């Protein structure tokens, strides 16, 4: 396979960029009245408008050529059929099996089916009041203790599906900062609280430390006997033996498998907090929505394929137009945790500097993903998007219908979303500003000084993703869209999107510092900064 950066198809894009480097998005709309329909498509309930990007039909064709030359379709098939494409951990990448719930033709599919039945029984028992706490009371609150993929996905989905939640309140604790767990359990009743210890490895320091604190809280605040743990703790892990060793009852341990990456695990038993919040039927709808996107990704031609297009536009913006970051701005309050979720998904997956063959990449890989919800972000960081020195491509995400239709709120919300993508594209020229100042009867001298501050260059690329309404199926499809976008980019960059070695070093070093902070180990070998900071603490 040709190397990105030097391949013919990559070179063709560089040459093309030289030709279109001053391409105006606004002008493209004037030249082509059909641009919106030419550069938009819908699949699995998700509509993508990518017309406000600095692309022409030729750009897109060259990007599709790059995808072809990168053997994207072949790699996609490798993933779906379970080849060990996570080469550094020698693992298959089969989160798609978790949502293909009616297919039991594979061993993985059968495992999923069996596990879903166990999850379903647990969820129904809790939600229907058959699962009782140590004093015979029904469960009212669930606390998910996990971090990274064992927290961000479920927390984001529970938040997004809040209109579908019923009587079980679900809380999330991730940080090792004791404030997090203290605040979460402060107002909870141990008799009616169920903890989920969610950890793929069941070795993660933050999660195990919080789990111990939860155990102590339960045992100290109640008259509960030691076996109360069985009524108040469940575990979700790929290492069930470790959960049992920790003190959980084997019937309360829900496994998942090494072919499910942490940041792709919300569809597995890691999603039990979601199912407890919204019920099993809605959880199945979430899985089905994601499966519909999987089917689309697997079968649609590259030039009609949502994740492929989203991934390629990203590559164009990063590697050819020079973007270093990508903003995610949902215009839906229920999606307020989406930027944080996508940060892990994209940055942990594609924040890599080495190709699968071990050579260093010679081009940029994942951008910094960041964002916030509209309209709040307009009054915070949009100033930089409009007039700053960095070009930041944006994904706007909006829904057509609100779960809370009051007055004109939703119309105004949608108007603001469209206005931002329009403003980023059109900007405001010197002439336009001057004209406006004249109409405001600003004296010429003052106008001549002011004009420079009011010019907005525009031509900032953006995608607009529109959903009918945030419901389980659409949300499932939206998340799967981004998962596959990450896959597409990883294939083109020739990196392994499924390991995360970069996270290990910090974990290892923190463990080594613990005895030093307890004043039990000599620190004289450390750099003077770390020594000094330790001395402040002890
Ligand atoms: O942050 C690194 C990481 O390994 C993530 O990939 C993972 O989601 C998180 O830690 C939590 O790991 P675990 O589920 O094993 O506790």
For ligand 1, what atom is nearest to the CA of residue 238?
Answer: 15
The alpha carbon of 158 and the centre of ligand 1 are apart by a number of angstroms equal to: 19
Mutate to test the pocket of ligand 1, among 86, 150, 258, 506 (most ligand atoms within 8 A of CB): 150
Tell me what the mean pLDDT of segment 5-30 comes to: 96
Q: For residues 374 and 331, is the Cβ–Cβ distance under 8 A?
A: yes
Residues paired with 235 in a beta bridge:
197, 253
Ligand 1 atom closest to 147 (CA): 11
Residue to probe by mutation, ligand 1, list 93, 95, 149, 199, most atoms within 8 Å of CB: 149
Give the 3-state secondary structure of 181-200: HHHHHCCCCHHHEEEEEECC
- Report the residue among 95, 144, 145, 148 best suited for mutation to probe ligand 1: largest number of ligand atoms under 8 A from its CB: 148
Q: What number does the ligand 1 atom closest to the CA of 348 have?
A: 6
Burial degree of 154 (CB within 10 A; 0-12, 13-18, 19+): buried
Atom of ligand 1 nearest to the CA of 152: 8
- How many CA atoms within 13 Å lie on the side-chain side of 512? 11
Residue 471: name the closest of 257, 157, 49 by CA. Answer: 157
pLDDT of 3 over the 90 cut: no
What's the 150 CA to ligand 1 centre distance in angstroms?
7
Query: How far is 372 from 338, CA to CA, in rounded Å?
Result: 8
Helix (H, G, I), strand (E, B) or coil at 210: helix
Ligand 1 centre from 103 Cα, in Å?
28
- Locate tokens 């939860």: which residue? 214
Test site for ligand 1: of 198, 254, 500, most ligand atoms within 8 A of the Cβ: 500
Asked if 374 and 336 touch (Cβ cutoff 8 Å), the reply is no
Residue 274 near residue 158, CB atoms below 8 Å: yes
Question: Residue 58 and residue 489: Cα distance in Å, rounded?
Answer: 20
Those residues whose C-beta lies under 8 Å from the C-beta of residue 340, and which sit 6 or more positions away, are: 152, 156
pLDDT at 427 over 80: yes
Instruction: Please enumerate in sequence order all residues whose Cβ is within 8 A of that of 510, keeping only pairs 6 or more positions apart, or say none.
Output: 205
Sign of CA dihedral 268, 270, 271, 273: positive
Report the separation in Å between the CA atom of 106 and the middle of ligand 1, taken as the mean of its atom positions.
27
| Ligand 1 interacting residues, C-beta cut-off 6 A | 147-150, 199-201, 204, 207, 262-263, 348, 500, 503
Residue 206 CA, closest ligand 1 atom number: 16
Query: Of 71, 156, 117, which is closest to residue 483 (Cα–Cα)?
Result: 156
Q: In Å, what is the CA distance from 52 to each residue of 323, 392, 425?
A: 15, 13, 7
Alpha helices in 95-239 (DSSP H): 95-98, 107-127, 152-160, 178-185, 205-221, 228-232
What is the distance in A from the centroid of ligand 1 to the CA of 283? 23
Q: Other C-beta atoms within 10 Å of 227: how many? A: 10
Average pLDDT of the segment spanning 20-25: 96
DSSP 234-248: EEEES-HHHHHHHT-
| CB of 488 closer than 8 Å to CB of 311 | yes
Closest CA to ligand 1's atom 10: 148
Query: 70 CA to middle of ligand 1, Å?
Result: 29
Distance, CA of 475 to CA of 481 (rounded, Å)? 10
Residue nearest to atom 9 of ligand 1 (CA): 148
Catalytic (active-site) positions: 348, 379, 507
Report whether 328 contacts 342 (CB < 8 A). Answer: yes
CA of 254 to the centre of ligand 1 (A): 17
End-to-end Cα distance, the chain: 55
Q: Considering only CA atoms, which residue is closest to atom 16 of ligand 1?
A: 199
At 1 the pLDDT is 65
CA atoms lying within 13 Å on the CB side of residue 229: 22
Nearest C-alpha neighbor of 229 from the set 201, 252, 200: 252
**pLDDT grade for 26, boundaries at 50, 70 and 90:** very high
Q: pLDDT tens for residues 59-99?
A: 999 999 999 999 999 999 999 999 999 999 999 999 999 99
Tens of pLDDT along 203-221? Answer: 999 999 999 999 999 998 7
List 349's β-bridge partners, or say none: none
Q: Does an H or E element contain 327, and which?
A: strand 325-331
Other Cβ atoms within 10 Å of 449 Cβ, number: 9
The pTM assigned to this predicted structure is 0.97
pLDDT value of residue 227: 78
- Write the pLDDT tens digit of every residue in 468-514: 999 999 999 999 999 999 999 999 999 999 999 999 999 999 999 99
- Looking at the predicted structure, is the pLDDT value of residue 223 above 80? no
Give whole-number Cα distances, 101 to 137, 258, 283, 297, in Å. 33, 18, 11, 17
């Amino acid at each position: 396979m040709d190397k990105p950066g030097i391949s013919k198809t990559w070179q063709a894009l560089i040459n093309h960029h030289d030709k279109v480097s001053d391409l105006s998005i606004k002008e493209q709309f004037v030249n082509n009245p059909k641009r919106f329909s030419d550069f938009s498509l819908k699949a699995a309930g998700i509509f993508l408008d990518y017309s406000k990007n600095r692309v022409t039909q030729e750009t897109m064709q060259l990007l599709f050529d790059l995808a072809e030359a990168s053997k994207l379709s072949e790699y996609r098939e490798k993933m779906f059929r379970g080849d060990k494409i996570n080469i550094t951990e020698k693992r298959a990448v089969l989160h798609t099996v978790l949502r293909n719930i009616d297919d039991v033709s594979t061993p993985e599919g059968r495992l999923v089916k069996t596990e879903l039945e166990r999850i379903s029984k647990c969820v129904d028992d809790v939600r229907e009041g058959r699962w009782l706490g140590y004093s015979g009371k029904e469960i009212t609150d669930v606390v998910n203790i996990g971090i990274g993929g064992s927290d961000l996905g479920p927390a984001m989905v529970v938040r997004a599906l809040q209109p579908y939640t019923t009587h079980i309140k679900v809380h999330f604790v991730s940080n090792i900062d004791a404030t997090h767990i203290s605040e979460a359990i402060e107002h909870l009743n141990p008799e009616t609280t169920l903890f989920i210890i969610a950890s793929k490895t069941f070795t993660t320091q933050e999660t195990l430390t919080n789990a111990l604190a939860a155990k102590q809280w339960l045992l100290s605040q109640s008259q509960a006997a030691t076996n109360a743990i069985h009524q108040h703790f469940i575990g979700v892990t790929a290492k069930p033996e470790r959960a049992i060793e920790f003190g959980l009852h084997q019937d309360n341990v829900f496994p998942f498998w090494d072919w499910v990456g942490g940041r792709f695990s919300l569809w597995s038993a890691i999603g039990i907090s979601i199912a407890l919040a919204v019920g099993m039927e809605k959880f199945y709808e979430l899985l089905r929505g994601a499966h519909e996107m999987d089917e689309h990704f697997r079968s649609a031609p590259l030039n009609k394929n949502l994740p492929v297009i989203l991934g390629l536009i990203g590559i164009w913006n990063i590697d050819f137009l020079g973007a270093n970051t990508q903003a995610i701005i949902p215009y839906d309050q229920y999606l307020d945790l989406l930027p944080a979720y996508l940060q892990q998904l994209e940055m942990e997956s594609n924040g890599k500097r080495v190709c699968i063959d071990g050579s260093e990449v010679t081009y940029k890989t994942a951008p910094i993903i960041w964002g916030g919800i509209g309209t709040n972000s307009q009054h915070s960081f949009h100033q930089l998007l409009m007039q700053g020195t960095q070009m930041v491509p944006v994904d706007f995400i909006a829904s057509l219908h609100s779960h809370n239709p009051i007055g004109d709120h939703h119309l105004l919300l949608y108007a603001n979303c469209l206005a931002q993508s329009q403003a980023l594209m059109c900007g405001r020229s010197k002439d336009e500003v001057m004209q406006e100042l004249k109409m405001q009867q600003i004296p010429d001298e003052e106008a001549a000084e002011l004009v420079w501050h009011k010019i907005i260059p525009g031509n900032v690329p953006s995608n607009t993703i529109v959903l009918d309404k945030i419901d389980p199926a659409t949300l499932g499809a939206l998340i799967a869209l981004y998962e596959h976008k990450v896959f597409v980019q990883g294939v083109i960059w020739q990196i392994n999107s499924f390991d995360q070695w970069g996270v290990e070093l910090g974990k290892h070093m923190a463990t080594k510092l613990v005895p030093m902070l307890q004043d039990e180990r000599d620190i004289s070998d450390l750099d003077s900064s770390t020594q000094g900071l330790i001395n402040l603490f002890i």
